[in-house]
Structure 1
Amino acid sequence: MSEIKEIWQPLSVDEVQGIFSPMPIQWWIAGGWALDLYLDRITREHDDIDVVILRSQHLLLQKYLFSDWEGYKAFKGKLTPWNKNEKLETHFDNLWFKKKGKSSWAFQVMIIDCEDDYWIYKRNGTIRRKLTDFELTTSEGVSYIRPEIQLLYKGGSSWIREKDNLDLENVLPTLDDVSREWLRDSLTIQYPNGHPWIERINACIDSSHNRKLK
């Protein structure tokens, strides 16, 4: 087991698509790249690239990656090799990958749980969404997490970074009110005593309503 060293040379979205598209699994771009795909523009520099898969398909993922890529389990600041045919326990949901023979990380895979075709938010299992309402797709056929769900992951973290606040400011004005309200309500469920984004989201919703009344 080793400390996580963040030396990244992340793949591009096109490169990730080239690796993942031949696999018979469901996958989605996540993180900041998912938001930029939604906005159809690059809003900031990205230090890494995240891909989301279903837990039920993680061994199938390994089968297709094992010959060319080394996978490591990231947990509590430590990296542990992901051994061949090793079924991951439920607390492992973060995998880092690098090309065999290379020292820099290329992409990260996040594992999500689902039940009865519903995605389950790992930080509060009462927050769920139909898998059919979990994604959007670019004109090039790249699937990515819906922006309000990705913002929930960012805002629901115990540490909201400057880039997360920037992502909120870039994306929030482009969402419809249904998506804004879903994000606000989900953050309220997770943080019943308040969350720093709630006031900003409500202001955006109120502004939208006022425009419709004019």
Structure 2
Amino acid sequence: MRTDISNWMPITVPEINKVFSDMPLHWCIAGGWALDLHLCKQTREHSDIDVIITRDEQLIAYQNLKRDWMLYKAQDGKLDLWEDGEYLNFTEDIWVSKSSETPWAFQIMIIDTEENFWTYQRDKSVRRPLDQICLKTVEGIPYLRPEIQLLHKAGSSQVREKHSGSLILYFLVQDCRRFK
């Protein structure tokens, strides 16, 4: 079990793309980076980088990542090694590093789907086809749609100060686009 939860040295967006682009699964960048990719500019310093995969495809991700990375289940306030062949029924977060001594490089967030639909956990009536939850940059890097990312950020029990700027900036840009 690891306890160094603040030991982050995230890899870059292009590096994430290189890690995931050849995997036969649905994935996209989430979190603050998703919003910045949508805005085509970095709006703040990011202390981590998040990738979304589906629960159904978790073992594909594991098999492709285990050669070069160590994967830890973040659950109940603990970080335990994800074992080979272990299907994660309820775990939603995986923290990834090169070794047990190196900083965290990225986080995988596992989402549940139903019949090729993503459903918002806090309100099951909010859903979208899985193939419509991501957009792509001009370089082809997939990222979570801003309205879905903002829904998650605004819907959390506590909107952190670092996220409030992203929320405001996104809505200002949307207002400006409306008047063009």
Q: TM-score, normalised by structure 2?
A: 0.93
- Name the counterpart of 2:123: 124
1:109-149 CA distances to partner (integer Å, 9 max, x unpaired)? 00111112210112332221122321110010001000010
Counterpart mapping for 1:1-214 below 5 A: 1-3=1-3, 5-89=5-89, 91-100=90-99, 102-175=101-174
Q: Relative CO higher for 1 or 2, CA cutoff 8 Å, sep ≥ 6?
A: 2
Structure 2 spans left out of the alignment, 5+ residues:
none
Matches of 2:55 and 2:7, distance apart in 1: 26
Q: After TM superposition, give the deviation of residue 100 of structure 1 in Å.
A: 2.5
% of aligned pairs identical?
46
Matches of 2:27 and 2:132, distance apart in 1: 14
Count residues in correspondence.
Answer: 179
Q: After TM superposition, give the deviation of residue 103 of structure 1 in Å.
A: 2.2
Matches of 2:94 and 2:100, distance apart in 1: 18
Q: CA RMSD in A?
A: 1.8
Matches of 1:102 and 1:122, distance apart in 2: 34
Deviates more, 1:122-131 or 1:146-155: 122-131
**Counterpart contact for 1:4–1:77, Cα < 8 Å:** no
Matches of 1:82 and 1:22, distance apart in 2: 22
Q: TM-score, normalised by structure 1?
A: 0.79
Higher helix share: 1
The 3-state SS of whatever aligns with 1:58 is: helix
